[in-house]
Amino acid sequence: MSRTPPHPTREQIELPLVLDCLSDPIRLAIVYQLAQQEAVSSELCCGDFNGLSGKSNLTYHFAKLRDCGLMRTRVAGTNRFVRLRREDLEARFPGLLDAVLNSAAKDADRPQLVAECDEVKAD
């Protein structure tokens, strides 16, 4: 449980994997929270996300985020710190991360729109 896990290089980061990774609500929430925090400190510890799911499930999601190149994990004693790979992502996919984060922010504001209906206009 002690060595730094492997990370893809910048050039190995692939668009479909990144999009797939961001398409899971829990992972999107992790990335979002990480981004929110960024001004304060660039990293958070895994435990800071315990609200989102169980620990072993979070380990699973962190691994996906790491494997696709969205974040970097740093080991420090019994803790693991994670941070967004902003520069690498910006270099590979300019504007993408911010577009996703802005959209996610807007959605987070929405009063959870429950409309089941289609384009049907009261017919």
Residue ranges binding a copy of itself (CB under 8 A): 6-9, 11-12, 14-17, 19-20, 22-25, 28, 92-96, 98-100, 102-104, 106-107, 113, 115, 118-119
Give the number of residues in contact with DNA, rule: CB under 7 A: 26
Q: Which residue has 């620990």 as its token pair?
A: 55
Binding mask 88-117 for DNA (x = CB under 7 A): ------------------------------
In the complex, the residues that contact DNA under the rule CB under 7 A are 1-2, 20, 24, 26, 45-47, 50, 53-64, 73, 77-80
